[in-house]
Amino acid sequence: MIFVHLLLTLAVLLFIPSQIFWLRQLRALGRKVIPSRSLRLWLAGLGMGLYVISLAMWLLPRSGIEPAHLTIRAVLLEAPFRWWVLSSLLGFVPIAAFYLCKYLGQGVIKVGSMLLPPSDPAKAAPAISSAPAAAL
């Protein structure tokens, strides 16, 4: 049971940053594709409204019995939104891992350069000449 709670907590903790990441990506795409700022703002408001309504429908519990057959609501609203939630989480995890590796690598390089003494050219090993060795 604790494993289920840990997975649920991890999913919730990943859900919020993943949605912020994808909204920023959508915003950047909108800036490139839609030249009019007023149209961009109007479409962004419409999209956020639909997103908030879909999120509320998905998160809030329903009263009553859920039908066993497909309904228009299930096909047009619930299923696409559930696919979006799953795919945005699964798409965000590798992207976050790449960013994490990038920043950890940069941090390791910075710490290593601070800890290692600067190289002194006078103490460096003599350069190897590129001339071919004499045949014996």
pTM: 0.63
- Mean pLDDT of the 127-133 span: 58
Task: Between 28 and 1, name the one with better pLDDT.
Answer: 28
Q: Does residue 128 surpass a pLDDT of 80?
A: no
Band of the pLDDT at 126, cuts 50, 70, 90?
low
DSSP 32-82: HH---HHHHHHHHHHHHHHHHHHHHHHHSPPPSPPPSS--HHIIIIIHHHH
Q: Does residue 123 surpass a pLDDT of 70?
A: no
